[in-house]
Amino acid sequence: MAYLGTPIDTTNQFQSLQGKRFSGDASTTAFTLDIAPSSVFDIEVFVENVRQDPNSAYGISGTTLTFTGAPPSGTNNIYVVHQAKAVGTIDVPASSVVPASLASNIISGHTALTTPPATTDEFLISDAGTIKRIDYSVLGNTPAFMVVTGTDLTISTGTWTKATNWATPIYDTDSAFSSSKFTVPTGKGGKYIFHAHVYFTSTDDGKKVEARLYKNGSNAGSTSTGSATVRKYTNGSNRDVDIGWTWVADLSAGDYIEYYVNQNNGDNQTLYRESWLSGQRLIGV
């Protein structure tokens, strides 16, 4: 006989019914199902082919079906049918979610972030059509740091001397400034910009004061964006030297930058505590 109305779907596993049979012994009241129903109304229970009243004949707790009275003895004389509940799972096919499938409030419907993201917060981006995960720390101009000299430092004449009189960094996003040097962290190579300022004394007219950034223990030299060395000569009206400069370079993980100064006054001079150094990684350049 043909079906009236919509035929039963025999190909979709979510349309199949799950059943279970038990044998009563006139004393047992609790039986274990394979699937936990949501309520007593999600199953049909039959004893000796008589359907039981879900309001009074049995109860459900997880996968345990408990009768209010022990069913009579018999072989497979109890059976339970789950009423069209899904008994399987299905994964969303790869690449099947399209923009039209997303709710219009998929972004606005969530709580707004009111503070800067943590460095390990993650975002999804499209890399030439391939979805990838990226940490916030990679997106921002970090590492970034700034240190100032905490005390005055005596500099011998004619000697390149490393500045070691740094105070606690004003900021240091990756804790990369240590032992008077900045070291590029793992995974943070790229183009960096450094800003430096030196405040120096020189008692004689026409004397030279120099400041320089060292890379990996030696003069960082010059790049297309400028020199790592700056110099200035004193004059009769201004014998204190105040110099500031900027330097940009490509650095790799493990490279380190240090700050050196030099003067040829003929005696010891003072690198004042007003000197400072800052740097940060650049993105998008």
Banded model confidence at residue 181, pLDDT cuts 50, 70, 90: very high
Res. 44: pLDDT tops 90:
yes
> Is 253 in contact with 184 (CB distance < 8 Å)?
yes
If one looks up domain 144-281 in CATH, what number appears?
2.60.120.40
pTM: 0.56
Class of residue 212 by CB neighbours under 10 A (exposed 0-12, middle 13-18, buried 19+): buried
The pLDDT assigned to 102 comes to 83
> Is 196 in contact with 245 (CB distance < 8 Å)?
yes
> Is 255 in contact with 216 (CB distance < 8 Å)?
yes
Q: How do beta strands 218-219 and 208-215 pair?
A: antiparallel
Taking only the tens place, the pLDDT of each residue in 145-169 is 999 988 888 888 888 989 999 999 9
Banded model confidence at residue 86, pLDDT cuts 50, 70, 90: low
What is the C-alpha radius of gyration for the chain, rounded to an integer number of angstroms? 38
The pLDDT assigned to 131 comes to 86
Kindly give, in sequence order, each residue whose CB lies less than 8 Å from that of residue 107, ignoring residues fewer than 6 positions away. Answer: none
Min mean pLDDT across 115-124, 205-214, 224-233 is at 224-233
> Is 195 in contact with 246 (CB distance < 8 Å)?
yes
**Domain ranges within the chain, ordered by starting residue:** 13-82, 144-281
Class of residue 221 by CB neighbours under 10 A (exposed 0-12, middle 13-18, buried 19+): middle
